[in-house]
Amino acid sequence: MALFSPISYFVLFYRWPLTRDFPWANYLLFAIGGVLISSGIRRAFRQPDLYRGKIAGTVLASISLLLLGLFVYVTGFATKELPASKGAPGVGTKAPDFSLTDEYGNTVTLSSLLTTAGVGDPSQGSILGATTPPNGVILIFYRGYW
Amino acid sequence: MRGFEQRLNDFASRGIRVVAISVDPPAVTRAHCQKRGYTYTFLSDPSAEVIRRYDLLHAAGGPGGQDISRPAEFLIDLAGVIRWVNLTDDIRVRARPDQVLHVIDQIGLIQH
């Protein structure tokens, strides 16, 4: 369970904001894993004639603890190492204009996004649904390297 | 990204264009979008010139130590004025489409 928890965050729970923003589902899995392994170890030490796994249990518990530590570090600290961006344009200021290439090779400027009904060739997939003038733009900066 | 794609109709009905920017070259982004089925506009800023202009450069933040953009969202009105900004302090926690749609409706960005 403890092994499954950190892996599941990246392959499964990362997909939904609810389980991504704060990884409570994974902490829950860690907790379940912790309860299981501690009860297992307790049994192995109290009734060694009945249950095996003193060494394996201890090793597994150590690995689980290590993983928990790593997971807390990655999700709690590592992903927060971001520049402060104090010079980013704020609310009420004019957005700096730009001229960039879209994924189809069309040149797109911020002013063209805000004024024209469409940019580029819609049949080529450029600026979807742009049959009417826009009301605004939501500009999303991504880390990329997809 | 998937979230915005799923709510694209809600942005389109409000006349709000969803536009992405990253340092990836157009061909890479195009392949990525086709693979994932993303249809909104993705702009390429390979030299991070615009990313710098918005002070969003995350120096050596890429997988191989390349300069990339930090995550950020800007809502811009027809006059080119920024009406809402989101600078997350955690790359895992980004603005959700519902949150942006709520802001759009709150500040009365819709004129027609």
Q: Give A69's Cβ-side CA count (13 Å radius).
A: 6
- Which of B82, B17, B24 has its CA nearest to residue B54? B82
Per residue in A129-145, pLDDT (tens digit) is: 455 678 899 999 999 99
Q: In terms of pLDDT, which residue wins out, A51 or A87?
A: A87
For the whole model, what pTM was predicted? 0.77
- The low-confidence residues of chain B, meaning pLDDT below 70, are 112
**Domains in chain A, number:** 2
| B11 falls within a domain | yes
Q: In terms of CA atoms, which chain A residue is nearest residue B30?
A: A103
| B94 falls within a domain | yes
**Domains in chain B, number:** 1
Structure confidence at residue A123 (pLDDT): 52
Inter-chain CB proximity B16 and A129 less than 8 Å: no
Q: In terms of pLDDT, which residue wins out, B27 or A80?
A: B27
- The parent domain of residue A56 ranges over 4-80
- Which of A108, A114, A146 has its CA nearest to residue B43? A108
Q: Which of B69, B109, B111 sits opposite A144 (nearest CB)?
A: B69
H helical segments located in B1-112: 2-6, 8-13, 26-36, 49-53, 97-106
Structure confidence at residue A30 (pLDDT): 85
In a mutagenesis test of the A interface, which of B1, B40, B41, B86 is the best target, namely the one with the most A β-carbons within 10 Å? B41
CB contact at 8 A, B33 and B39: yes
Per residue in A12-68, pLDDT (tens digit) is: 777 776 677 778 788 888 888 888 888 888 888 888 787 777 888 888 888 888 888
| B102 falls within a domain | yes
Inter-chain CB proximity A82 and B56 less than 8 Å: no
Report the run of H or E that residue A95 belongs to, with start and end: none
- The parent domain of residue B61 ranges over 2-106
In a mutagenesis test of the B interface, which of A13, A91, A140, A146 is the best target, namely the one with the most B β-carbons within 10 Å? A140
In total, the C-beta contacts within 8 angstroms joining chain A to chain B are 226
Task: List phi, psi (to 5°) of A22.
Answer: -130, 120
On whether both A105 and A123 belong to a single domain, the answer is yes
Show Cβ contacts of residue A66 under 8 Å, excluding neighbours closer than 6 positions.
Answer: none
